[in-house]
């Protein structure tokens, strides 16, 4: 960041005040998504650095392979690091210890289930009595895999899935108040599917289970289609290319925490998880006059990979994060409405 910009940041940016009367959750304590830019997009205007508060229901939806499960695991790991208890519903049984370790998530110390039906997930939340401190996390990955009791019954059957929207509506309605009272953070992933039977005036896409989850969610994060990240190496004189990760972005589709429609890039590297350092370095370079990657006055390299190595070896991750927050707040301040208070 240039010296002039650094001076502007310090002069114009103040820590946002927290007005709890505007929101029914505890914005004073937040959980990180693992991405500084996504944390800021969610609540950066309410609390320094942003993040997700407790006491709310969150829906993460988007196309297949767009990073929904990775995001859930990153948030679960953050909850656990802050001494919160974890309940993890995994209908597709995809969570294993090796995958969880990427996100610093200890699967031996969580309440883990592989439910079949919608009531199993939500009734379990209402009965759960966590014992740890701080915000406790409930995760469901993914809701699209859940059935109804009627659908599981071979005699009654529910081949058309007509019962699903009703059960989602019933269960979310009964569970949301419990989430708030117990200060739980419930994060669910959901898929986007083509709305084939919707008719000419209906939306082209829909999420399974009807509109209940979207209605009762305080925060909805929509993932974009992933773009492959490729790396080329030379082995024995031959060039070899592999896909090492994906780049996607998450948009705040709905929010009762702060402003909606903020968007954050998200890079996911296989066997590593969310590459926050990469996204932060790119953000600073994109919104400054720097011709190379930099952290403060430290000039790094024109290569992203070499710059990441330099940041990690020097332990500059914290400094990088603070610089991103300052720059983000400066940009956001340019869009603030400076108007006369309404006459009541």
Q: 255: buried, middle or exposed (CB in 10 Å: 19+, 13-18, 0-12)?
A: buried
H or E stretch at 7: helix 3-12
Entry pTM: 0.87
Q: Is residue 139 part of a domain?
A: yes
Identify the bridge partners of residue 189 per DSSP, sorted by sequence position.
60
Q: Is residue 283 part of a domain?
A: no
Q: 252: buried, middle or exposed (CB in 10 Å: 19+, 13-18, 0-12)?
A: buried
Residue with token string 């332990």: 315
H or E stretch at 238: strand 238-255
Mean pLDDT for all residues in the chain: 87
Q: Which residue has better confidence, 170 or 20? A: 170
Q: Is residue 77 part of a domain?
A: yes
Strand 184-191 with 56-62, pairing: parallel
- Res 230: pLDDT: 95
- Please tell me whether residue 68 adopts helix, strand or coil conformation: helix
Q: Is residue 111 part of a domain?
A: yes
- Res 77: pLDDT: 96
Q: Is residue 4 part of a domain?
A: no
Q: Which residue has better confidence, 131 or 76? A: 76
> Which domain does 95 fall in, by range?
25-274
CATH of the domain at 188: 3.40.50.300
Kindly give, in sequence order, each residue whose CB lies less than 8 Å from that of residue 197, ignoring residues fewer than 6 positions away: none
Q: How many domains does the chain have?
A: 1
- Res 300: pLDDT: 97
H or E stretch at 111: strand 111-113
Question: CA-CA distance, 189 to 212, in Å (whole number)?
Answer: 14
Q: Is residue 146 part of a domain?
A: yes
- Res 16: pLDDT: 41
Q: Is residue 250 part of a domain?
A: yes
Closest CA to 46 of 334, 339, 337, 332: 332
- Res 24: pLDDT: 44
Q: Is residue 140 part of a domain?
A: yes
Q: Is the pLDDT of residue 196 over 90?
A: no
Q: Which residue has better confidence, 152 or 266? A: 266
Kindly give, in sequence order, each residue whose CB lies less than 8 Å from that of residue 239, ignoring residues fewer than 6 positions away: 232, 233
Omega of the bond leading into 123 within 30 degrees of 0 (cis): no
The mean-pLDDT minimum among 183-197, 225-239, 279-293 falls in 183-197
> What is the tens place of the pLDDT at every residue in 17-41?
444 333 344 566 899 999 999 999 9
Over residues 93-101, the mean pLDDT reads 88
> What is the tens place of the pLDDT at every residue in 267-304?
999 989 999 999 999 999 999 999 999 999 999 999 99
* Confidence tier at 165 by pLDDT (50, 70, 90): confident
* Confidence tier at 200 by pLDDT (50, 70, 90): low
Alpha helices in 241-316 (DSSP H): 276-286, 304-314
- Res 156: pLDDT: 57
């Amino acid at each position: 960041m240039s010296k002039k910009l650094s001076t502007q940041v310090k002069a114009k940016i103040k820590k946002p005040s927290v007005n709890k009367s505007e929101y029914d959750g505890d914005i004073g304590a937040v959980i990180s998504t693992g991405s500084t830019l996504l944390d800021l997009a969610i609540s950066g205007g309410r609390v320094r650095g942003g993040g997700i508060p407790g006491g709310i229901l969150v829906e993460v939806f988007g196309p297949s392979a767009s990073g929904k499960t990775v995001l859930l695991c990153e948030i679960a790991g953050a909850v656990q690091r802050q001494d919160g208890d974890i309940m993890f519903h995994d209908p597709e049984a995809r969570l294993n210890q090796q995958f969880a370790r990427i996100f610093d998530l200890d699967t031996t110390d969580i309440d883990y289930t592989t439910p079949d039906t919608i009531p199993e997930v939500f009734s379990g939340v209402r009965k759960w009595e966590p014992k740890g401190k701080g915000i406790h996390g409930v995760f469901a990955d993914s809701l699209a895999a859940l059935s109804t009791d009627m659908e599981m019954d071979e005699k009654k059957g529910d081949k058309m899935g007509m019962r699903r929207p009703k059960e989602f509506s019933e269960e979310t309605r009964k569970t949301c108040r419990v989430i708030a009272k117990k200060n739980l953070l419930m994060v669910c992933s959901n898929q986007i599917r083509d709305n084939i039977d919707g008719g000419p005036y209906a939306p082209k896409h829909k999420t399974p289970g009807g509109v209940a989850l979207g209605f009762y969610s305080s925060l909805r994060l929509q993932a974009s289609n992933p773009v492959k990240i490729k790396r080329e190496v030379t082995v024995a004189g031959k060039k070899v290319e592999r896909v090492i990760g994906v780049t996607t972005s998450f948009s705040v589709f709905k929010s009762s925490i702060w402003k909606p429609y903020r968007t954050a890039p998200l890079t996911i590297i296989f066997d590593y998880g969310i590459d926050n350092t990469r996204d932060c370095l790119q953000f600073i370079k994109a919104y400054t006059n720097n011709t190379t990657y930099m952290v403060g006055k430290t000039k790094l390299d024109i290569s992203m990979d070499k710059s990441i190595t330099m940041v990690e070896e020097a332990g500059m991750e914290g400094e990088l994060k603070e610089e991103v927050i300052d720059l983000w707040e400066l940009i956001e301040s340019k869009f603030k409405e400076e108007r006369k208070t309404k006459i009541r």
